[in-house]
Chains A and B, each alone.
Chain A
């Protein structure tokens, strides 16, 4: 393993991601800034081999290094233009009662990173698609290589987004022969960011437990070291939702909103079907814009921006990269269900998602008890608390979009099967469920109850102190 290569890439990820954040004028806690910069940086740098290929530049170690340097230099401009010495606050160490959760989560993360490094790529979808193309790109120095002379009639994996191909090329050339560690960069950054978010919403005891529950979702955990599109897609889809929520709360300018659209765009670039789900977010946006009584032309402009950004990423992925790099025509029409009048497929898929994927022994094996825990809390909220804040509503809307959207995709595109594509597609709902749990009325009550109990002694002492002072 080349540690210098890894360090170079980590630095480049950070600078590229930080530059992108600066472009959108996004301000946040230092920890969140670092995590999001790293995640965005991975996505941004995956474009490097694609751009080199478009410019007919031979893909070698030197050209990739130079390409990354150019990307980093360009994206560092917005950062350098507004360079300020960071105000570093003294780090607060986690409370004593957080350590059991932190230690176990850290152990699970370390195992995942080790496996990501140690094992070669395994998934059949990768070995007959992006990984295959990446491996031969490294050997033959071009993404249009001998792979396309082989009989590819039994797979369509070579039509998938070049996100993994690009990331694999970079990491194979600079870090290790199996690549893959870019997934660990996303996983570690996302986990830290998510835990920090949960901690900001809830008492750390509950945040730690919920995070442990989330990290130990068996199938989701497996895809933190088996490279495929779904984990990365989940991360950016969730981030898009989170920043959409953040923008609504802040009711700030257009930048936070554009950043959310940008994150949804990255999610679309990673998995192009995500575009359908993002279109389903439009009613939520429209309702909000109507509620704040925004002028119609401005509302239309915002909605257009929200939809056109992911569409642009879709066009870059399919019409630019796939069109130019795959010397086999891509016919989306041939993949569409020829019998769209038969809606029973949609309803059958909706039912099967529940009966086969979730409420079954296979479902428990894949998702653990996390979904049932979420449903239990939701039911308590519906019948007891009967109040939902904005974060809860947005999270629930997102979960609904994923569930109905995946069934719709299964109806629209028969290759979107139940036990593979849909099963992994449901990952997108899992962090949204976690977000919901952070906003749930009953969990919030429990959280504030623990806070009050924990600080009751302190409060009593303060009260006594205040009384004496007044006396």
Chain B
């Protein structure tokens, strides 16, 4: 029996040494024991919407505001022109990621298009950067749309 106890002590030493190794130590601390979203935050936010907000961050809040706005206005099938990521970055907006049209559809249920998308000409709304972050604007005329398409296409071609 005492040899089993020695082996138990060896097992403890091995696991201890394993997690003292710098790489595994850091992994255990930052990924498992103290993850970016702490366990207490997780247990205090158990509703699916809260979990989505925690995981997807600021972008998800933007998406939610957009969907709420369209829901209240009772607009059935808006096609929304999305800003190219390069343009958002240049405007200093780094914490909002619009993703690509299918991702935008996943989060909002609305059809987003890039300036290079085949049906970009159908866009009646556009997401534009402003001082607070981004805002959604109705496109009042074909000229407004064409101007934005030309402007956004410059950034799209840079990607």
* Interfacial residues, chain A to chain B (CB-CB below 8 A): 95-101, 104, 108, 111, 118-120, 122, 124, 127-129, 131-132, 135, 147, 149-155, 157-158, 177-178, 205, 208-209, 212-213, 216, 218, 364-365, 368-369, 450, 453-454, 456-457
Q: Does B100 contact A (CB under 8 A)?
A: yes
A205: chain B residues at CB < 8 Å are 7, 10-11
Partner of B56, one of A96, A100, A120, A147: A120
A-B contact pairs, 30 of them (CB 8 A): A97-B4, A101-B15, A104-B15, A119-B55, A124-B103, A127-B99, A127-B103, A128-B99, A128-B100, A128-B102, A128-B106, A132-B103, A147-B105, A149-B111, A150-B105, A150-B111, A151-B117, A152-B101, A152-B102, A153-B117, A154-B100, A177-B48, A205-B11, A212-B18, A216-B24, A218-B27, A365-B23, A369-B21, A454-B7, A457-B3
**Residues of chain A with a CB closer than 8 A to B4's CB:** 95-97, 454
Which residues of the partner chain B approach A132 to less than 8 Å between Cβ atoms? 102-103, 105-106
- Specify the chain B residue showing the minimal Cβ separation from A124: B103
Set of chain A residues within 8 Å of B146, measured between Cβ atoms: none
Q: B1-56: which residues lie under 8 A (CB-CB) from chain A?
A: 3-5, 7-8, 10-12, 14-15, 18, 21, 23-24, 27, 31-32, 42, 48, 51-52, 55-56
Residues of B within 8 A of A147 (CB): 102, 105
B113 within 8 A of A: yes
CB–CB A128/B48 < 8 A: no
Q: How far is the CA of A457 from the CA of B7 in the complex (A)?
A: 14
Leading 8 A-B pairs by shortest Cβ distance: A97-B7, A151-B117, A128-B102, A97-B8, A151-B101, A97-B11, A100-B11, A154-B100
Not counting A127-B106, A149-B111, a sample of 18 additional A-B residue pairs whose C-beta atoms are within 8 angstroms of each other reads A96-B5, A97-B10, A97-B11, A99-B8, A100-B15, A120-B48, A129-B102, A135-B106, A151-B118, A154-B101, A154-B114, A155-B100, A157-B102, A178-B48, A205-B7, A209-B14, A209-B18, A369-B23
A101–B3 touching, CB < 8 Å? no
Interface residues of B (CB under 8 A from A): 3-5, 7-8, 10-12, 14-15, 18, 21, 23-24, 27, 31-32, 42, 48, 51-52, 55-56, 99-103, 105-106, 111-114, 117-119
Most buried by B among A122, A151, A453: A151
Contact pick for A364, options B23, B31, B100, B103, CB 8 Å: B23
Instruction: State the CA gap A119–B99 with chains docked (Å).
Output: 19
Contact B7 A96 (CB under 8 A): yes
**In the bound complex, CA of A98 to CA of B112 (Å):** 54
Instruction: Decide yes or no: A131 and B51 within 8 Å by CB, A95-B4, A151-B114, A364-B23 being known contacts.
Output: no
- Contact residues of B: prevailing secondary structure: helix
User: A375 CA to B15 CA in the complex, in Å?
Assistant: 21
**B119 to A: closest C-beta gap in Å:** 7
Q: Which residue of A lies closest to B46 (CB)?
A: A118
Closest to A222 in B: B31
Contact yes or no, B113 A450, CB < 8 A: no
Q: Is the CB of A96 within 8 A of B101?
A: no
Complex CA gap A153/B101 in Å reads 9
Q: How far is the CB of A441 from chain B (nearest CB, A)?
A: 21
A151 near B42: Cβ-Cβ < 8 Å: no
A122 partner residues in chain B, CB cutoff 8 A: 55
Shortest Cβ distance from A447 into chain B, in angstroms? 12
Partner among A98, A120, A128 whose Cβ is within 8 Å of the Cβ of B103: A128
B-chain residues with CB within 8 Å of residue A127 when the two chains form the complex: 99, 102-103, 106
B135 smallest CB distance to A (angstroms)? 22
Q: Which residues of B contact A212 (CB under 8 A)?
A: 15, 18
* Set of chain A residues within 8 Å of B3, measured between Cβ atoms: 453-454, 456-457
Q: Which residues of A contact B51 (CB under 8 A)?
A: 118-120, 178
- Bound: A122/B60 CA distance, A: 12
The 8 Å CB contact of A153, one of B21, B27, B118, is B118
Cross-chain contact of B102 among A100, A155, A209 (Cβ < 8 A)? A155
The smallest beta-carbon distance between A209 and chain B, in angstroms, is 6
- CB A448 to nearest CB in B, in angstroms, measures 15
Contact B102 A150 (CB under 8 A): yes
Distance in Å from the Cβ of B149 to the closest Cβ of chain A?
Answer: 14
Q: In whole angstroms, what is the CA distance A150 to B99 when docked?
A: 13
Q: Which residue of A lies closest to B32 (CB)?
A: A111
A434–chain B nearest beta-carbon distance, Å = 16
Bound complex: CA of A127 vs CA of B97, how far in Å? 13
Nearest-Cβ distance from residue B140 to partner chain A, whole angstroms = 23
State the Cβ distance, B102 to closest chain A Cβ, in Å: 4
In the complex, chain B residues whose CB is within 8 Å of the CB of A101: 11, 15
Q: Give the residue name and chain of the A residue nearest to B18 (CB).
A: A212
A96 to B106, CA, bound (A): 50
Distance between A65 CB and nearest chain B CB, rounded to angstroms: 22
Do B14 and A150 touch across chains, with their CB atoms under 8 A apart? no
A120: B residues at CB distance < 8 A: 48, 51-52, 55-56
A172 to chain B, nearest CB (A): 11
Closest CB in chain B relative to A297 CB, distance in Å: 51
Nearest residue (CB) in A for B13 is A100
In the assembled complex, which residues on chain B have CB atoms less than 8 Å from the CB atom of A456?
3
Minimum C-beta distance from A126 to chain B (A): 9
Smallest CB separation, B50 vs chain A (Å): 10
A-side contacts of B111, CB under 8 Å: 149-151
Q: Could you tell me the distance between the alpha carbons of A457 and B105 in the complex, rounded to whole angstroms?
A: 69
Centre residue among A149, A153, A365, A368 by max chain B CB count within 10 A = A153
A97 to B5, CA, bound (A): 7
Partner of A98, one of B11, B24, B42: B11
Verify B15–A131 contact, CB threshold 8 A: no
Please, which residues of chain B bring their CB within 8 A of the CB of A149? Answer: 111
